[in-house]
Structure 1
Amino acid sequence: MTNKNLDLMSTSELTNLFLNKELAAINSIKSQKSNITKVINKIISKIKSGGRMIYVGAGTSGRLGILDAVECKPTFSTDLFLGIIAGGKEAVFMAKEGIEDNLALAAKDLKKINLTKNDVVVGISASGETPYTLSAIKFSKKKSALTIGITTNPKSTLVKISNYKITPDIKDEIIAGSSRLSSGTAQKIILNMLSSISMIKSGKIYENLMIDVQPTNKKLIKRAISIISIICKIPLNKASSLFTKAKKNTKAAIVMHYKKCDLSTALKLLKVTKSDLRKIIG
């Protein structure tokens, strides 16, 4: 139920209200478990066929898509996730509210990335009526790409025109019309699941470890060495030496250890198994 007296509430009361509302947003996703599972399986199939995941949205929804897509590269060493926002890069840092009404812009943005039938286009919109996002989904369907609509409005146009839907039930926001709140929370959690689970099932995770992490700084180099140490059950100094011999390729280092082989052989094994470590070392 909407509380219309926010300005009369104490800071403690407001904090409690926000916490309860955010928890409700998380719980609302549970009803979408079947839809989410179905969508993820479709995504996995498309990725195996050489497809990409493309998030499209305006405002908060667009920024959340970009956030998820950008984080996938260092986490999973993949370029398969792209985020497109109405208004381009400038709109990430500065609100450009009017741009979401530009219908022609969505098709133009998708043409730039050479959209194909193997791609998955995820339209993100709290209302499910954002013109830019709807235009993107319509264009994607013409290109025979798989389309997914994420919205908190189950009766929206986005739901009607998308191949698949994910619709957490969020009836209102604490601050009326501010979809960056509960709707944004639900969207972010859903995107986390779509990207993370599809990558787990694509061989990017071994046990619960980020075996495809890109060691581009000291922190990530330390993490990669730690992963080698854990999986190979060897001391950190030996893991570090193995990491160097593998030319900073975490997966290759692990294969070299278990198969007692050189880097060249390890890389060949990874290529044959499509980089699936589980198939190589069990």
Structure 2
Amino acid sequence: MCKTVTEATNQNSLSIDEMEALDIVHLMLEEDRNILEGVKKSLTAIAKAVELIVDKWQHGARVFVAGAGTSGRIGVLDAVELGPTFSIDPDRWIAFVAGGKNAMWEPLEQHEDSDSDIVQELQQHHFNENDVLIAISASGTTPYSLAALTYAKEKQASSISISCNNQTISSELSDVGIELVVGPEVIRGSTRLKAGTAQKLAINMISTATMIKLGKVYQNEMVDMQLINKKLVKRAETMLTQLTNLDEQEAQALMNETNNDVKLSLIIAKTGCTKQEAEKYLTKANSHVKKAIHLYEMHSEKDIND
């Protein structure tokens, strides 16, 4: 039985309408302290979600994110950043918000009661058993999100839910149920506040940790970012000089040689191998730069010993 913490009255803010501005924001900050504890208790489930996506992704899965209102907007906000940050094909991590794209800019919350719109969207994208669905809903009972989870179950696809109540229907319907219980909002039911922040933290963790596990990060650098402007090209060159013994001119020359491929440039700079060898070992390492460097060094050491 779902306990609707998200709809409960916060006893700490009963007189918020009488407070001075400083007291209001102080109270809000104090209430926000509950967010970290709520997310902390869900870290195991969040990690399971990452492992599920990574496993499915390596077999060609796409990730679909569905939510209404604030929850949907959070899913879209996260998804659109994955392309430039990690060079993810936009057709592999797709987010839907109830009411469509206009709902990002207009209050179209009435669409959260629709249990057919999301199914039609998923059908149009040929959603199938190889894919992963992430349903985001503060209450865990939003019809739009529940319909997405139900459809995923029908298609025998993997599913993850993110909600902010205990024992939600969303969790029952999903393979991994993430319940971020952060307590009642300072304004009763206004889940754009603590619940929204907790959801943003969780989806950021899921997408970022997934990209790291897929080899999109070397140390803590974005080695798979899209170099779509001068600032990002400069960032990549600076990254090379900081991570290797190359000077600025050498970094620029290497980036030109690899057609601005940061991963290949790093492997070449770190090992002294050729571009063809870097490509070969990066493929063997499943796009992980550290693993590719290690494989090359092991191979070189073997050749020396032989």
Regarding TM over 0.5, the answer is: yes
Identity level (%): 35
Cα deviation code 1:196-233 (max 9, x no counterpart):
11111111111111111111112211111122222223
Deviates more, 1:247-256 or 1:135-144: 247-256
Describe the SS at the equivalent of 1:94: coil
CA contact (8 A) 2:284 2:292 kept: no
**In 1, Cα distance between equivalents of 2:185 and 2:147:** 26
Shift of 1:255: 2.3
**In 2, Cα distance between equivalents of 1:162 and 1:18:** 32
Describe the SS at the equivalent of 2:44: helix
Cα deviation code 1:224-256 (max 9, x no counterpart):
112222222322222122112211111121223
The one-letter code matched in structure 1 to 2:66 is V
Pick aligned residue for 2:32 from 19, 22, 27: 22
1:2-151 → structure 2 map (5 Å cutoff): 2=11, 3-79=13-89, 80-151=92-163
The reply on whether 1:248 has 2:253 as its aligned counterpart is no
Partner of 2:217: 205
The one-letter code matched in structure 1 to 2:239 is I
The reply on whether 1:274 has 2:283 as its aligned counterpart is no
**In 2, Cα distance between equivalents of 1:28 and 1:193:** 14
Shift of 1:72: 1.1
Deviates more, 1:72-81 or 1:208-217: 72-81
**In 2, Cα distance between equivalents of 1:205 and 1:268:** 19
Shift of 1:39: 1.9
Matched positions, count: 282
The one-letter code matched in structure 2 to 1:257 is A
List alignment gaps of at least 5 residues for structure 2: 1-9, 295-306
Shift of 1:165: 0.5
Partner of 1:238: 250
**In 2, Cα distance between equivalents of 1:275 and 1:161:** 34
Partner of 2:197: 185
The one-letter code matched in structure 2 to 1:61 is S
Shift of 1:258: 3.2
**In 2, Cα distance between equivalents of 1:112 and 1:249:** 34
**In 1, Cα distance between equivalents of 2:277 and 2:258:** 11
Describe the SS at the equivalent of 2:116: helix
Pick aligned residue for 1:162 from 149, 174, 189: 174
Shift of 1:110: 0.7
**In 1, Cα distance between equivalents of 2:163 and 2:14:** 24
CA contact (8 A) 1:26 1:185 kept: no
The one-letter code matched in structure 1 to 2:85 is T
**In 2, Cα distance between equivalents of 1:264 and 1:131:** 52
**In 2, Cα distance between equivalents of 1:166 and 1:177:** 20
What TM-score do the two structures reach when normalised by structure 2? 0.88
The one-letter code matched in structure 2 to 1:54 is F
CA contact (8 A) 1:54 1:120 kept: yes
CA contact (8 A) 1:251 1:277 kept: yes
**In 1, Cα distance between equivalents of 2:279 and 2:105:** 40
The one-letter code matched in structure 2 to 1:40 is V
Pick aligned residue for 1:226 from 230, 233, 238: 238
Describe the SS at the equivalent of 1:280: helix
CA contact (8 A) 2:34 2:183 kept: no
CA contact (8 A) 2:164 2:179 kept: yes
Task: Kindly report structure 1 stretches of 4+ aligned residues shifted beyond 6 Å.
Answer: none
Describe the SS at the equivalent of 1:121: strand
Shift of 1:262: 4.3
